[in-house]
Amino acid sequence: DAGVIQSPRHEVTEMGQEVTLRCKPISGHDYLFWYRQTMMRGLELLIYFNNNVPIDDSGMPEDRFSAKMPNASFSTLKIQPSEPRDSAVYFCASSLLVGGGNEQFFGPGTRLTVL
Amino acid sequence: AQKVTQAQTEISVVEKEDVTLDCVYETRDTTYYLFWYKQPPSGELVFLIRRNSFDEQNEISGRYSWNFQKSTSSFNFTITASQVVDSAVYFCALSEDYGGSQGNLIFGKGTKLSVKP
C-alpha cells in the first residue's frame, strides 16, 4: 500500500491567498484526521471524519479553516484567507477503526508558509 | 482532562549509550491507549507502539523497550545501545475511549533525541 498521500509537500503563499491541502488516506481506512504541528502548540487535532462525515471539528481554529471529504479516498483542508500565523506543518492521518486502540498512520505532511 | 507530559525537551547521548524517554499522562477514563511515535529529521510521523490501559506488561522489541506503570501514570520508552539513526523527536500520545474524544490522539510536546557518534 502507498500509505497516506498528501499534496503539496511544500506550499508558500502570501497572506490573504486561499490555500488548499489535499490528502488521500490508506484504502479501506474509515477514519481520516487532520493535524497541525507548530513549535508553540505542538501537534493538535483539527478535525476528523468517519466514513466521509465530519465527527469532531472542535479543533478547527476559526472560520477561515474548512475541511471536506467528498469520498472515501480524498479530503481537503482549505484556508481562506490565509494568515502568517497559519504557517505550520499539516498532517493527514488515517486509521482502520477509531477507538483508541487503533494506530493512526500519518502522511508526510504539508509544510505551509504564509508570508 | 487529558494531558500528556514529556518533561525532557532535549536529550543528547553518545552512540551505544542507553537512553530513557519519560512520558506521564493524565486521564479520567479507565479505558485508554498510549502510543509512541517517532519523527525523524525527514518529518514524517512513524508509529512505534500501542498499549492499552489493561495491559501493564512491559514490552521489548529489539533495542526498544517500554515500561507502562498505571500507578505512576507513566509510559516510558528506553532505547538500548543507541545509534545515530535513532536521532529524532519522539512523541508520546494518549487516546481515550469514550464519547466525543474517541479517536483523538493527545500528543505530548515531544523529546528531541540526538545521538552523537
Query: Which pLDDT tens digit goes with each residue over A70-114?
Result: 999 999 999 999 999 999 999 999 988 765 567 889 999 999 999
Name which of A27-36, B1-10, B56-65 the model is least confident about.
B56-65
Residue A6 has pLDDT above 80, yes or no: yes
Model confidence pLDDT, tens digit, residues B74-112:
999 999 999 999 999 999 999 877 554 456 789 999 999
Residue B4 binned pLDDT confidence (cut-offs 50, 70, 90):
very high
The nearest CA of chain B is from the CA of A98 a distance in Å of: 5
Chain B residue nearest residue A4, CA to CA: B44
Give me the residues paired with residue B96 across strands: B32
CB contact under 8 Å between A43 and B103, yes or no, is no
Task: Write the residue in A33, A100, A105 that is nearest to B97 by C-beta.
Answer: A100
Residue B1 has pLDDT above 80, yes or no: no
Residue A48 has pLDDT above 60, yes or no: yes
- The predicted pLDDT at position B59 comes to 83
Over pLDDT 90: what percentage of chain A? Answer: 81
- The predicted pLDDT at position A66 comes to 97
Q: What would the grid cell of residue B24 be?
A: 506521564
Task: Write the residue in A33, A101, A107 that is nearest to B52 by C-beta.
Answer: A101
Residue B20 has pLDDT above 70, yes or no: yes
Q: Helix and strand tally (H, E) in chain A?
A: 0, 11
Over pLDDT 70: what percentage of chain A? Answer: 96
The DSSP-derived string for A20-56 is EEEEEPPTT--EEEEEEEETTTEEEEEEEEETTEEEE
Residue A60 has pLDDT above 90, yes or no: yes
- The predicted pLDDT at position B100 comes to 47
The C-alpha cell 537512553 sits at B19
Residue type, B3: K
- The predicted pLDDT at position B46 comes to 94
* Mean pLDDT score, B63-81: 94
- The predicted pLDDT at position B13 comes to 97
Cα B43–chain centre separation:
17
Cis peptide before A81 (omega within 30 of 0): yes
Closest by CA to A98, choosing from B89, B99, B46, B72, is B99
Task: Write the residue in B43, B47, B50 that is nearest to A101 by C-beta.
Answer: B50
Which residues in chain B have their CB less than 8 angstroms from residue A93's CB?
Answer: 45
